Amino acid sequence: MGEWINKFKKLLCALGEANETEKMIPIKGAHISGVSYRNIGDVGREFLYDVVSEGLKVRVHTTCNPGYTKEGEEDLQDRIYHNFIMLGCEESFTCTPYYLNRKIKCGDVLSWAESSAVVYANSVLGVRTNRESGITALASAILGYTPLYGLLRSEERRPWVRIKIKWRDIDEKKAGLLGYYIGEKIGRVPFIEGILLTEEEFKYLGAAIATASDISIVHVKGLTKEHKWASKYEMHTIEMKGEELREVEEKLSQTEGGEAVILGCPHLSFNELREIAEATSQIRRVKKRALLFTSRAVYSTALSMGYIEKLRRKGFEIYTDSCVMCKYVEELEEVYTNSVKAAFYLYNRMGIRSCLKSTREIIQEVLLG
Ligand code: F3S
């Protein structure tokens, strides 16, 4: 066991050195990515098995990303999940850990590794976490600390560009396009004003900005935790009228239709599941195959309130512990989605083209017909 502890200590020291610090700081929680068999392969699976065999356990509340499983790889993926549970991780595999652990408080230091969750946590919850890799988050989960660098320091959380939004209407798709545009074209921590975003819409913006860049915090006037503090910085100002997003949309929305609807990248919140159930309550069955991805925690709340049953009766397929890039999606060629992150990865990793629309448009135009 001692040998493995030393290896993890060395890893965190090296991470500290690379970021010019020797100081370590205790963490309140960790979130591990790199959970998919398709990502980590046999080498990663055996590494994890060795760590578990040594009897190591996580010291802080730890959650894990979902895997994306190919047909025939289910057993290998299940063994990976089992080993994370043996390590003491929560038995729920989701990219929205912020919907699970409501004990997280503003200012808490975490070691999280899922890029979309890192943006959400830093921005909406006001916690402090860098965008860790799966292995550094695992090391921190086991040791209970992380090097004091990057977004754990106040000065690194400041915004550099004030973005004044000059249009009013926003939805998940536009929020995602805006996030991708900022990440790709502006590339610095933004302070966004002039638009009212819900936490769910922010989720799509954050996931997209993290897809296009390494930005891990976004300040939005009226929404994010540190927006008042952030607004006081001198910043270069950019005005956006909306047409800037057209180029991003043309790049990521490559088709006019789709064989199925994919929602839940990042995983759907309870509010989103409820809204989909309510918006489709008047029809007998959805007109297109529709796959919803969520976490176990959200699923069980929705189940207890009758929404899962309602959705299933309409024909929705609902998956937990699974990323959208999974065996249920891989046979498709074209899909509808509201998520810019999904559109990017489905195309770049699986060759699946997306038709980007807001959730409301998908329900009205595709599912209700
Ligand atoms: Fe989650 Fe997979 Fe999307 S991990 S954020 S559903 S790419």
In the chain (369 residues long), the average pLDDT of successive 10-residue segments reads: 92 98 97 93 94 96 91 90 96 94 88 98 98 98 98 98 95 98 98 96 98 98 98 96 95 96 98 97 95 97 97 97 93 97 97 98 94
Ligand 1 centroid to Cα of residue 3, in Å, is 34
Q: Is the CB of 265 within 6 Å of ligand 1?
A: yes
Q: Is the CB of 35 within 6 Å of ligand 1?
A: no
Q: Is the CB of 134 within 6 Å of ligand 1?
A: no
* Residue whose CB lies within 8 A of the most ligand 1 atoms, among 31, 98, 325, 352, for a mutation test: 325
Q: Is the CB of 34 within 6 Å of ligand 1?
A: no
Q: Is the dihedral of CA 254, 257, 260, 261 positive or negative?
A: positive
* Residue whose CB lies within 8 A of the most ligand 1 atoms, among 112, 116, 321, for a mutation test: 116
Q: Is the CB of 266 within 6 Å of ligand 1?
A: yes
* Two tokens, residue 58: 């996580």
Atom of ligand 1 nearest to the CA of 114: 4
Supply the residue whose CA is at minimum distance from atom 5 of ligand 1.
Answer: 266
**Alpha carbon distance 261, 155 (integer Å):** 42
Please give the C-alpha separations between residue 301 and each of 166, 196, 279, 309, 348, in angstroms, as whole numbers.
Answer: 38, 27, 19, 12, 34
Q: Return the pLDDT at 223.
A: 97
Q: Is the CB of 65 within 6 Å of ligand 1?
A: yes
Supply the residue whose CA is at minimum distance from atom 2 of ligand 1.
Answer: 323
Q: Homologous superfamily of 2-154 in CATH?
A: Aconitase, domain 3 (3.30.499.10)
User: Structure pTM?
Assistant: 0.96
Ligand 1 centroid to Cα of residue 120, in Å, is 14
CB 342 within 8 A of CB 324: yes
Q: Homologous superfamily of 253-367 in CATH?
A: Aconitase, domain 3 (3.30.499.10)
Beta carbons within 8 Å of 170's beta carbon, 6+ residues apart: 195, 196, 197, 201
Query: CA 181: distance to chain centroid?
Result: 18
Q: Return the pLDDT at 23.
A: 97
Q: Return the pLDDT at 101.
A: 63
Q: Return the pLDDT at 2.
A: 87
